[in-house]
Amino acid sequence: MKIAVVGATGLVGSEILKVLAERNFPVSELIPVASQRSVGSEVLFKGKAHKVVGFEAAIAAQPAIAIFSAGGGTSLELAPKFAEAGICVIDNSSAWRMDPTKKLIVPEINAHTLTKDDKIIANPNCSTIQMVVVLNPLHLKYKIKRVVVSTYQSVTGTGVKAVDQLYAEREGRHDAPKVYPHPIDLNVLPHIDSFLDNGYTKEEMKMVNETRKIMMDDTIAVTATAVRVPTVGGHSESVNVAFENEFDLGEVYQILNDAPNVVVQDDPKNLLYPMPLTAHGKDETFVGRIRRDETQPCTLNMWIVADNLRKGAATNAVQIAEYLAENGLV
């Protein structure tokens, strides 16, 4: 199967290439795509160098699937052109997520809604993906009323320049460009994406709106505080969930143990709980610190961690591609 990766030279694009190789996706021909300034450069895939091509050459090559990770503006401009050529686009940007005509997919939850007619498929926000993978099986059993989430998000979510800024500050250098309005090393920024008129940031409202769309339930109330922390390799979330129905804690553990691609790490006596350091490079979503909220009825506290470049972006996109291929939708 011919696969194009648009934005192949970027942080997420590089991770997509890695995940495609690791999961042995049946790639008959890889078409790495990037902006004009990167055309002619090379990327490695399964130990072999592949020349980067431009957008027109990529469309002419007629891949079955194009996985986009090149920013919202590029997606808005080019995804329809790929789709018009019969190419199925899986888009990592926020461009199409809340478009009512496009599906927002986390394969463990709603891949079954996809059809051959879906030519532009949206990949959700990284912080939303890891939360809903854990919440959805509990929602099916107990019905969620309200979610309160605070995130602790890695600098890798901003991109390679943010990683450079963190390490430059840590090393006392002043040569790296500043992508954050304040220092990030030894600091915490309660500010991800731009602020909106309601006082929330775009990142926070993405979690609100995307959760409802993915879980196909507009009655779920979500409130979020998104925070950037000086870590590399994963996002963490403190999640408080109020259910309509009473739950048994033992049953909650069982449901999460049985949930696809969820790993329960919850042994406080042995200091075992999810951390970005140990989630780094892994495809699963990790959950721990599972405990009853003793101040509210039918309410649960959890700590959820995942590698934001993997399950939060590249792996989720590749899983969508796998579903399309396995079910004859491309």
121 in Cβ contact with 103 (< 8 Å): yes
- Residue 189 in tokens: 């920024």
Sheet strands side by side (includes 144-152): 221-225, 144-152, 235-243, 299-306, 285-292, 262-264
Catalytic residue, candidates 88, 139, 235, 280:
235
| Residue spans of beta strands (DSSP E) within 112-228 | 120-122, 144-152, 221-225
Cα–Cα dist 250/81, whole Å: 50
Annotation marks residue 235 as catalytic: yes
Buried b (16+ CB within 10 A) or exposed e, 28-45: eebbbbbbeebeeeebeb
Provide CB contacts within 8 A for 269, sequence distance 6+.
none
Catalytic residue, candidates 88, 126, 139, 280:
126
Total residues found in the chain within this entry: 330
Q: Which residues are catalytic?
A: 126, 235
